[in-house]
Amino acid sequence: MKPEYNINPIAGNIEGYKHSIESKEKIRIASLGRKHTEAVKQIMSNSCKWVNNPFLGKIHSNKSSALIKAATLNRKSVPISSIEVEVIDLYINITTVYKSIHKAAIAINSEIKTILRREKDQKEKGINTPYKKQYMINKKRK
């Protein structure tokens, strides 16, 4: 017998089956442009949070910790140091300097990407407008 369908080694399961390069390409092309709804995004986000997280309540073994530490020490590229961000609140006229974009974003209830995008737009347009009509943001690059 040479069946065309259901040729998996274990009936009802795809374990052991390997997709051909052509079928992988067809699957890739079919999934291009697919957009998930907000509800689906939320379900995917929640699927690995808290009790669903497979690492919850576990810790790395001493061997794993040593391997992670060795890999960190042997890095060829040095991580970029934080970019300081100066935020001027125009309503109360207070200037605050944050050690990172992340901390500044939290303080003004914003996203990191928004702050980075604003910098790019300001360079292209040559203007610096207040964010949320309240904050002037200046990054201090080293």
Question: Does the residue 130 lie in any domain?
Answer: yes
Q: What rounded mean pLDDT belongs to the chain?
A: 83
pLDDT of residue 61: 94
Question: Does the residue 74 lie in any domain?
Answer: no
Question: Does the residue 69 lie in any domain?
Answer: no
Number of domains observed in the structure of the chain? 1
Question: Does the residue 61 lie in any domain?
Answer: no
Question: Does the residue 14 lie in any domain?
Answer: no
Which residues does 126 contact at the CB level (< 8 Å), separation at least 6? none
- The DSSP result for the chain, as a single string, is ---SS---SSTT--TT----HHHHHHHHHHHTT----HHHHHHHHHTTSGGG-TTTT----HHHHHHHHHHHHT-SSPPPPPPEEEEEETTTTEEEEESSHHHHHHHTT--HHHHHHHHHHHHHHT--PPBTTTEEEEEE--
For 49, what's the count of Cα atoms within 13 Å in the CB-facing half-sphere?
5
Range of the domain at 117: 84-140
Q: How confident is the model at residue 7 (pLDDT cuts 50, 70, 90)?
A: low
Question: Does the residue 15 lie in any domain?
Answer: no
Question: Does the residue 9 lie in any domain?
Answer: no
pLDDT of residue 81: 66
pLDDT of residue 115: 83
Q: How much is the pTM?
A: 0.42
Question: Does the residue 94 lie in any domain?
Answer: yes
pLDDT single digits (tens) 39-91: 999 998 888 888 888 888 889 999 999 999 998 888 877 666 678 888 999 99
pLDDT of residue 57: 86
